Amino acid sequence: MSLEPGTPVVCLASASPRRRDLLWQIGVPHKATAANVDEDPLPGESAHDYVERLAVEKAMAVRSRGERLPVLAADTAVVLEGAVYGKPVDRADALAMLSRLSGRVHQVLTAVALATERSVEVRVSATSVRFRDLTLAEREAYWQTGEPRDKAGGYAIQGFGGVFVESLSGSYSGVVGLPLAETAELLRTAGIGYWRGSRA
């Protein structure tokens, strides 16, 4: 039996409109719900293990509520010299983050997990991003846009923060928050199609 284009085939464990847009981009009809898990890193936890664990925990949290669709979840961290930069707590924190990233190369790690009734599979995307030098005035003006407040590392590559990026090696969609090659691989392995529907 074929599905109607708008019939959800997965549940996205995220309230992020960016992740929803990326799923629509590859034609995956879905519904979405926030996972609401504790995002504090564990003592001594590596950045790779951190994003992988959170993606799995988010997927399982939604599955545990009785969700019958396969659950797709992701987590993103900005990493510089081993330190993980999450969402800034305030203006001073955001300006400090952007100052550290200024003129340097950092990594963006995004893990994506798919939980089905049979198993949980996870993949991690790693991307190197180089920022140009940022002035204090520019960092302050960027904070005033409101964009850094809920973004890992204090910036959004798909938004106003895109002007900071000189170069990128890896997955652009991974930096936005959902690496599409890895996501498609998980879906394909689970027998879930993409390119099957649009937002219309």
Q: Which residues are catalytic?
A: 75
Instruction: Give the closest residue to 106 by CA, choosing from 144, 155, 64.
Output: 155
Q: What are the backbone dihedrals phi and psi of residue 118, each rounded to the nearest 5 degrees, phi first? A: -95, -35
Locate tokens 């034609």: which residue? 27
- Return contacts of 18-23, CB within 8 angstroms, 24+ apart: 18/156, 18/158, 18/176, 18/177, 18/178, 19/74, 19/177, 19/178, 22/173, 22/176, 22/177, 22/178, 22/180, 22/183, 23/72, 23/178, 23/183
85's tokens: 């930069």
Contact 109, 75 (CB under 8 A): no
150's tokens: 């809920």
Q: Enter the DSSP assignment of 184.
A: H
Query: 131: which strand partners?
Result: 165
Residue 90 has, within 13 A of its CA and on its CB side, a CA count of 1
